[in-house]
Amino acid sequence: MEVSVWRGAGDRGGYQAFSVPAHDNQTVLDVVSWIQQAVDPSLTYRYACRVGMCGSCAMMVNGQPRWTCRTHVKRVLEDGKLQIGPLRNLPVIKDLAADMDPFFDKWVKAGGVHKPSRSRAEPIQQVSPDEPGRVVANTAIECINCSVCYAACDTVAGNPDYLGPAALQRAWTLYNDVKVQDRQAILDAATGPGGCMNCHSQGSCTRFCPNELDPLSAIAGLKRAAAKSFLKGRG
């Protein structure tokens, strides 16, 4: 099978063609590893768990963001060809390794850091699994920080300040978490510069999230909460 792989650092580079033996069961990550092990040891890429847990292996595959360790070649091959590049919307360190710093910086900017409301001297807060806020918060806790949604988002592409789907979904999770005391602080962060208002609701994030999470709806929730708080005079 014909595979073209992005080679280069920073803004510069180009696709390099490789011929890779096809197998019945083969993931995109297997293809990349084969090239690195059998043809060119200098090929740079990133992975860790190989089972869809760690979120480090995401790349552009035939133009679409995918978790490569759990993407079967058979399902994404187009005319027997595969094009593999570094994740979109992020700077490239080298070859297939994108620099994830902007992605994680925005998690912090969107209020994604958990600020405990109790000290270790106090008893552990009981949280009922049926509490409505907990139910909403639960929908997003399987996020593996893979940045697939961030790479899929056209608004991030056009507006580099935009915090992006994963960070805002995290903010929505914390906003609904009963253990979080200062919910307004989270809303303020999520509606600050590059905040949830910039989302155009086209839903590429939800379409591409490999864990079938729904950042689009989380952001819609943030927008509703922000509008309510604005109308109450907290503009």
Q: If you write DSSP's letter for every residue of 106-163 in order, what string do you get?
A: HHHHTT-S---SS-TTSPPPP--TTSHHHHHHHTTTT-----HHHHH-HHHHH-TT--
Interacting residues of 201 by C-beta distance below 8 A, sequence separation 6+: 216, 219, 220
27 binds other proteins, rule: CB under 8 A: no
**Cβ 116 to ligand SF4 shortest distance, Å:** 23
Residue 148 binding target from ligand HEM, ligand FES, ligand SF4, none, CB below 5 to 8 Å by type: ligand SF4
Residue 195 engages other proteins in binding (rule: CB under 8 A): yes
Binding mask 147-186 for other proteins (x = CB under 8 A): --------x--xx-x-------------------------
Instruction: Give CA–CA dist 210/58, Å, rounded.
Output: 10
Of 85 and 203, which has the nearer Cβ to ligand SF4?
Answer: 203
- The residue among 40 and 154 lying less far from ligand HEM, judged by its C-beta, is 154
The closest residue (CB) to ligand HEM is 200
With CB under 8 A, what is the number of residues at the site for other proteins? 15
Of 69-98, which residues contact ligand FES (CB under 6 A)? 69
Q: Can residue 83 be called a binding residue for other proteins (CB under 8 A)?
A: no
Burial of 70 (0-12, 13-18, 19+ CB in 10 A): middle
According to the binding rule CB under 6 A, does residue 224 interact with ligand HEM? no
Q: Is 55 near ligand FES (CB under 6 A)?
A: yes
Q: Minimum Å distance from CB 155 to ligand HEM? A: 9
SS3 12: coil
Contact between 200 and ligand HEM (CB under 6 A)?
yes
Q: What is the CA radius of gyration of the chain?
A: 20
In the DSSP assignment, the letter for residue 69 is: G
Contacts of 160 (CB under 8 A, 6+ apart): 102
- Which residues of this chain interact with ligand FES, rule CB under 6 A? 47-50, 52-57, 67, 69
